[in-house]
Amino acid sequence: MIEFRLNDRSTRVDVAPMASLASVLREQLALPGTKVACGEGFCGSCTVLVDEQPVAACLLPVVHAAGRSVRTVEGLASFGRLSPIQQVLEDADAVQCGMCFPGIVMSLTALLERTPRPTKPQIHEALVGNICRCTGYERVVTAVLQLAGA
């Protein structure tokens, strides 16, 4: 049995310790927001926050989440309202197909929590592990700068 906090709730799963956190989130815990595109930690679609740090969930064995805090894109909205980053990306029409966006949102959430007023280079650096094939990232960067009041 592996125990961890998931989106601010205690969670216990009875799975193989080396199962990827992404597969456990999607298949055992019914949280499909964590996408698995490459399965090699290259694209960033599976990014979640573990102890508030962006992590490629497709590479992390679930046993390494034991005793830690895991936050997924499903954990960002509260009371039926999108988080500020989710809302500004929607308002800016920055979301394209949706495959990479949960990971992008999680990477940007981590950035904004540690750097509330990021610069354009800091935003680019935060997104370096997230590959999107649909957008040129410009609307994403512009939306984050708008949210940050820059």
User: What's residue 6's pLDDT?
Assistant: 98
Angle, CA 130 vertex, CA 122 and CA 84 arms, to 5°: 65
Considering its fold, how many domains does the chain have in total? Answer: 2
d(CA 31, CA 89): 21
User: What's residue 83's pLDDT?
Assistant: 96
The average pLDDT across 57-72 equals 98
User: What's residue 139's pLDDT?
Assistant: 93
CA dihedral 8, 14, 16, 22 (to 10 degrees): -30
39 close to 60: Cβ distance less than 8 angstroms = no
- Look up the pTM and report it: 0.95
Q: What CATH code is carried by the domain that includes residue 46?
A: 3.10.20.30
Domain range for 108 is 84-147
Angle, CA 112 vertex, CA 120 and CA 149 arms, to 5°: 60
Q: Does 95 or 145 have the greater pLDDT score?
A: 145
Strands 47-50 and 53-56: antiparallel
Is residue 12 located within the same domain as residue 71?
Answer: yes
